[in-house]
Amino acid sequence: MNRVASQVKNEASVARHVATAVLGALQILAWGSTFYLPAVFAGAIVRDTGWRYDQVVAGLSLGLLVAGLVSPRVGRAIGQRGGRPVLALGALLLALGLAVIGSAPNLACYFAGWAVVGVGMGAGLYDAAFATLGRIYGKQARAAISGVTLLGGFASTVCWPFSAFLVEHFGWRAGCFVYAAIYLVVAVPLYLFVLPRNGAPIDSFNASPAAAARDAVTAADLPVFAILASVLTMGAAILSMMGTHLVTLMQARGLDLTAAVALGMLIGPAAVTARFVETLAGSHYHPIWTMTASVGLVALGACLFLTDNSLFAIAIILYASGNGIGSIAKGTLPLALFGPERYPALVGRLALPIMVAMALAPYLGAVAFERGGAQWTFLLLLALALSNVVLVAVLWRLSRRPRVQNVEPDPVERRQ
């Protein structure tokens, strides 16, 4: 009997590792062919079509807005039907949207393609993947979610050079078709035939009406919540702007596409390494320390982008490391400051400004680039990064004030 139980446990462990590897690999594809696509494709699209750069990048902004709008319904669908059909449908929509973009004869068709891609992003990026793992493994999903995050961090490292290869040898339209074909031939079958069928009870994904109606932010909490929301929103804007424009900005500073993409490939390893280190050491400290390190590293990186091109590699490593651990602080700091009972409601409130920032930042960065070139865009990034340093300093001060807490004695006080 013990041997049989051990075998079942081992098989479940293998299945979990397989599911983690599949979802992680497909997150690389999902992010690389959507969020990171304009970083390499935008220049070629502008040259081929004559559309303005800011118009081309506005397609991604539209996609991010649509993704944010459909995400709540995607979560409910995963809770009711499981993640396999939802993720597979998301892959089909991404393939369709990319095919429309690749064949677009005008801007209206181009934007329509991005709207379809946006629905696919809502059903295929991190939130949908995490909900799927939670649906399958319940409370045991944490390790799998961490694994998917670590793999997904390599999206730019893998897809930027692949996208550059496609653009240089086949053109941007053919590149869109290649990504669409990968979704149809690889992603859809993996989602449908590799992910496990079993799942946790559906009720565990539906918050009770009483919990949903509970007031999440008290008057005493409001200043801390407002500053935290501002920090996370600024961080999302920087991530979105850098992810969209970094390669173009480095080219504008004199680097060719190959060199710019090669430097951009540092983002994935730097972010993943920083996340791994934080995972090992972060449990010993309050998450506000992680957030402080995050905004500090991003600001240092932004400063170096305004200097000599020879320092770009160091700037990218600093930025990517800060952004990497910032994604961890984004999930852990609200929990530490406000407690687990209010956490779901607070995360829901934080999602809207973050989504809007990620949608608008690429367009604002494109406008800055059109008006003042790379230098203006890097100055805008630095202004956002330094603003976040100031906001985190304010958050430190506010978090030390006595407040009504839903957690045990304030760990910020213990660690200062």
Helix H segments across 267-342?
Answer: 267-281, 287-305, 312-338
CATH number at residue 396: 1.20.1250.20
Residues 241 and 127 in one domain: no
- Domain end marker among 196, 227, 260: 196
Q: Which 3 state secondary structure label does DSSP give 106?
A: coil
Q: How many folded domains does the chain comprise?
A: 2
The pLDDT tens digits along the chain (416 residues) read 455 344 434 445 557 788 889 999 999 999 999 988 998 999 899 999 999 988 998 898 899 889 888 877 887 787 778 888 999 999 999 999 999 999 999 999 999 999 999 999 988 887 788 778 777 876 566 567 667 777 887 888 889 899 999 999 999 999 999 999 999 999 999 999 888 865 544 444 444 444 444 445 677 778 888 899 899 899 989 988 888 788 889 999 989 888 988 898 888 889 888 878 877 776 677 788 889 999 999 999 999 999 888 899 999 999 999 988 887 777 667 767 876 556 545 655 676 677 788 888 888 888 888 888 888 999 999 999 999 999 999 998 887 765 544 444 344 444 44
Whether residue 266 lies inside any domain: the answer is yes
pLDDT in tens, 276-309: 887 777 667 778 888 999 999 999 999 999 988 8
For the packed helices 126-137 and 53-81, what is the interaxial angle rounded to 10 degrees? Answer: 10
Is residue 90 within 8 A of residue 132, CB to CB? The reply is no
Residues 339 and 286 in one domain: yes
Euclidean distance between CA atoms 213 and 405, whole angstroms: 19
Whether residue 378 lies inside any domain: the answer is yes
Return the pLDDT at 8.
37
Residues 169 and 49 in one domain: yes
Residues 266 and 300 in one domain: yes
Residues 123 and 248 in one domain: no
- Domain end marker among 151, 166, 196: 196
Whether residue 65 lies inside any domain: the answer is yes
Residues 182 and 239 in one domain: no
Measured distance between the N- and C-terminal CA atoms of the chain, rounded to whole angstroms = 52
Tokens of 167: 């653009």
In the structure, how many helices (H) and strands (E) does the chain have? Answer: 18, 0
Return the pLDDT at 74.
80
Whether residue 95 lies inside any domain: the answer is yes
Whether residue 204 lies inside any domain: the answer is no
Domain containing 369: what range? Answer: 212-416
| Among the listed residues 155, 374, 157, the one whose alpha carbon sits nearest the alpha carbon of residue 261 | 157
Residues 31 and 136 in one domain: yes
Residues 158 and 294 in one domain: no
Whether residue 270 lies inside any domain: the answer is yes
Whether residue 205 lies inside any domain: the answer is no
Residues 76 and 50 in one domain: yes
- Domain end marker among 196, 227, 251: 196
Contacts of 321 (CB under 8 A, 6+ apart): 270, 271, 273, 274, 297
Return the pLDDT at 331.
64
Residues 73 and 180 in one domain: yes
Evaluate if pTM is beyond 0.95.
Answer: no
Euclidean distance between CA atoms 322 and 201, whole angstroms: 37
Residues 191 and 219 in one domain: no
Residues 38 and 163 in one domain: yes
Whether residue 223 lies inside any domain: the answer is yes
